[in-house]
Chain A
Amino acid sequence: MLFLKKYKKYEHPYITTSIIILILLAFLSLFAPVLTDYNPVRNDARNRLQAPSREHLLGTDQFGRDVFTRILYGIRTSMEVGLAVVILTVIFGGVVGIAAGYYPQLDKVVMRILDAMMAFPGIIIAISLAAIWGAGKLNIILALSFAYFPKMARIVRSAVISIKDLDYVDSARAVGAKDSRIIFKYILKNSASPIMVQATFNFALAILDEAALSFLGVGIMPPAPSLGAMVTDARTYMVVAPWLILAPGIMIVLAVLSLNLLGDGLRDLLDPHLKNTLKNREVKK
């Protein structure tokens, strides 16, 4: 693949670090049942708010549940939500973006609607949708996808517009290729990099917003573990049991930071213009 070749060539430190962290997080969440003996929702309130110890690596929460276990499953929830949101936004954003970019007669109408949607901050749309549909993992995924897809559509559209008038597309058209073949074979393939960058950012944003929604009480329903909900619940105990708020907080930071770094790295890697400016800067130094 193209970017792997490029990656080898440039050895981007951001990407390396973030990929290591992400692999670690993915490992933790995938192997949660093996890594811990505790059940993430089973109560043992008589042993509540215990400090970190050998039995409970990160202590216990107000219900006596093992915090380490809940964090592992919380990361799993975050990853699930992030992945699902990315897949949905790529599909919806892709379809709408291509339609708007490739068929000029649709462009004005679709883009104005998307503009209107983008006038509201994504989190506000997500909160209102989650409030209307009710809390729960599936609803959160749908609400966040709905909030993010306009931006994805916009990025796909501009990629499509810039590519569709290039010579090789014209020649494909001249040969008599159908729209579907042109779109999938020539346009989509060549607009992969901005989509990939945006998808990575969406992944990070989805994890952060899931945490925010759960923090506000419209996200993942208790007792299911979610990093954001853990932070909310821990606020009351911040002074007496600081590990309760620190552990999930640090996990959110790690996940979001690494994804953002990955996104930044990918953009540097895949966007020749930006890379050149960076190089120039180095030369000037």
Chain B
Amino acid sequence: MRKEIKITAVVVLVALVFSLLLTANVLAQEEDRYGGTLNAAFQMSVAHLDSDNSTDSLITAMMNHVYEGLFEFDENLNLTPHLAESYQVGEDGLVYEVKLRENVKLHNGQTMDADDVIASFRRWLELNNGGQLVAPYFDQVEKIDQFNIRFKFAEAYAPFLNILASPVSNQKFVVRAEEVVDEFGTDVIDRHVGTGPYKYEEWVPDQKLVLTRFEDYTPSSREASFFAGKRTAYLDEIVFNFIPDAQVRVSGVQTGQFHFAEEVPRDQYPLFEANQNIDNVIIYPDRMSMLIYNNAEAPFDNKYARQAIAYALDFEELGYAMIGDPQFWRLESALHEEGNPWHVPDAGEGIYGVYDPEKAKELLDQAGYDGDPIVILSGQDNQMERQGAIAIQDQLEEIGIDVELQLFDRPTVVERRSKKEGWHIHLSPFIKIVPDPQIHQGWTGTNKWISNWDSEESREMDQIFAEMLREVDQEKRYEIMERMQSKLWDSVPYFNILDYSRLHIKRAELKDFKGSWQPFFWNTYLE
């Protein structure tokens, strides 16, 4: 008996020592993560750093480290309170009450409260694209007490919270210090006081932006997931370098000068794969390639002709020609990718991805197509646009459709596609990640958009849109979304050919990096 007790005691003791050691080890590891300067290479330079004043997505991406939103999206594009503690929607979607987290410090040492949020919100409503979408429906914002705010609407506007958290440039609402908002008004802000884990240190135009750790940062208690939840600033300093040339970004990572490079050529993937010091970061799903008809001009003023093209194209072959390596693209008929709450899995069933040239010819006859050349208008600088247009031309000519290819630089393309005649098909890359289906570039609906779609069908689509705007219940909104997708695939004013991704690379010593649609460097560390 005694012996047994002894043995048990020893076992317990050993276990205790081990667990202690382990904890210490984990703590030490956690401690080890701190420190270092991260050098990242981005492809474009920015004009300034005020996200309310620019559509440049890089501003949003960089300043996400400095500013935070009331709400942020997590990995699965679910809305999560961030600077907000909780929220309530009442009275048929006309009132939103938001409770703020208390004791959140701003970079100027003060505590963030309702006044900061309201000042920032008013500026956002007036200046920001997202704010301008909301403004026509909005009534007023009220301070309930120091940490409670009430947003009142004149008309229900269902996408409101999603827009506040939007991951898209020039939409997201971030909280700035009231004093800064008062000082700059609607002018471009160049003094940055936010609540984020990093604070603004230095900006050298066309060269770099330097951020340093904010020691008094108050993290959210929620689980970390992309932009939502707990953010930990392991790095002492983050330097965003602006390097327009892709090959320079690549060699910078190869030599170790940069830890991260944005958008590098996808076709060099095998090279990076073979390099032990470099990790590929495939951002997926990220972009989609839209085929847009000119619905105002024959033959595509007829829906049978529009359907015909969908049957005439071999989408898989297009994937290889436009993008290349199949790990960078996938066929997707819906406007929203798989995993997105708004994804409609059976969109385009029976037409999308059905390669049937005979049917295409029948439909074209039905539409009364007279054999005039089809003009494909596309950009020549973007690989997807240029190679897609060439591949589509080839496929259509193979079934006897005469095609004229017009490849131009972007400004010329934008100018020509805004006209009602002179083009039939246009290819355009779209950003796949959107905060809410109702601020999807492709579904602002109808003749207002470049597709010149103005018919009985387009007006029906407008009604569906208006109905969904009033519906606050997300499940019911999803049902409307399903209806809209099937309508879209019946009338095909435009359609998604496929989704594709960009490729970033990073050094192997940059750990725990999450490949999100906008790169961020909190919760990552250098080994």
Binding site for B on A (CB under 8 A): 41-43, 45-46, 48-49, 62-64, 217, 221-223, 236-237, 239-241
Asked whether A46 lies within 8 Å of B320 as measured between CB atoms, the reply is yes
Cα–Cα distance between A64 and B318 once the two chains are bound (Å): 11
Main secondary structure of the interface of A (DSSP, over half): loop
Asked whether B393 lies within 8 Å of A223 as measured between CB atoms, the reply is yes
Q: Which 10 interchain pairs have the tightest Cβ spacing? A: A45-B320, A45-B321, A43-B394, A240-B267, A223-B390, A45-B317, A63-B321, A222-B390, A46-B320, A237-B267
Instruction: List residues of chain A with CB within 8 A of the CB of B271.
Output: 239-240
Interface-central residue, A48, A62, A221, A241, by most chain B CB under 10 Å: A62
* CB of A222 to closest CB in B, whole Å: 5
Cα–Cα distance between A63 and B319 once the two chains are bound (Å): 10
Asked whether A236 lies within 8 Å of B267 as measured between CB atoms, the reply is yes
Cα–Cα distance between A236 and B405 once the two chains are bound (Å): 22
Asked whether B267 lies within 8 Å of A43 as measured between CB atoms, the reply is no
Instruction: List residues of chain B with CB within 8 A of the CB of A237.
Output: 267
Instruction: List residues of chain B with CB within 8 A of the CB of A217.
Output: 380, 407
Instruction: List residues of chain A with CB within 8 A of the CB of B387.
Output: 62-63
Asked whether A63 lies within 8 Å of B267 as measured between CB atoms, the reply is no
The chain B residue with its CB closest to the CB of A43 is: B394
Cα–Cα distance between A33 and B391 once the two chains are bound (Å): 22
The chain A residue with its CB closest to the CB of B270 is: A240
Asked whether A46 lies within 8 Å of B324 as measured between CB atoms, the reply is no
Contact with A223, one of B319, B380, B405 (Cβ below 8 angstroms): B405
Q: Does B108 contact A (CB under 8 A)?
A: no
Instruction: List residues of chain A with CB within 8 A of the CB of B267.
Output: 49, 236-237, 239-241
Instruction: List residues of chain A with CB within 8 A of the CB of B316.
Output: 46
Cα–Cα distance between A13 and B107 once the two chains are bound (Å): 79
Q: Does B428 contact A (CB under 8 A)?
A: no
Q: Does B276 contact A (CB under 8 A)?
A: no
Contact with B317, one of A41, A46, A221, A222 (Cβ below 8 angstroms): A46
* CB of B371 to closest CB in A, whole Å: 20
Asked whether A223 lies within 8 Å of B394 as measured between CB atoms, the reply is yes
* CB of A176 to closest CB in B, whole Å: 58
Q: Does B395 contact A (CB under 8 A)?
A: yes
The chain A residue with its CB closest to the CB of B250 is: A239
As a 0/1 sequence over residues 308 to 340 of chain B, the CB contacts with chain A under 8 angstroms (1 = contact) are 000000001111110010000000000000000
Cα–Cα distance between A237 and B324 once the two chains are bound (Å): 11
Contact with A221, one of B268, B324, B407 (Cβ below 8 angstroms): B407
Cα–Cα distance between A237 and B246 once the two chains are bound (Å): 13
Cα–Cα distance between A223 and B388 once the two chains are bound (Å): 12
* CB of B280 to closest CB in A, whole Å: 14
25 contacts between A and B (CB under 8 A): A41-B394, A42-B394, A43-B317, A43-B390, A43-B391, A43-B395, A45-B320, A45-B321, A45-B391, A46-B316, A48-B320, A62-B387, A63-B391, A64-B320, A64-B321, A221-B405, A221-B407, A223-B393, A223-B405, A236-B383, A239-B267, A239-B268, A239-B271, A240-B270, A241-B267
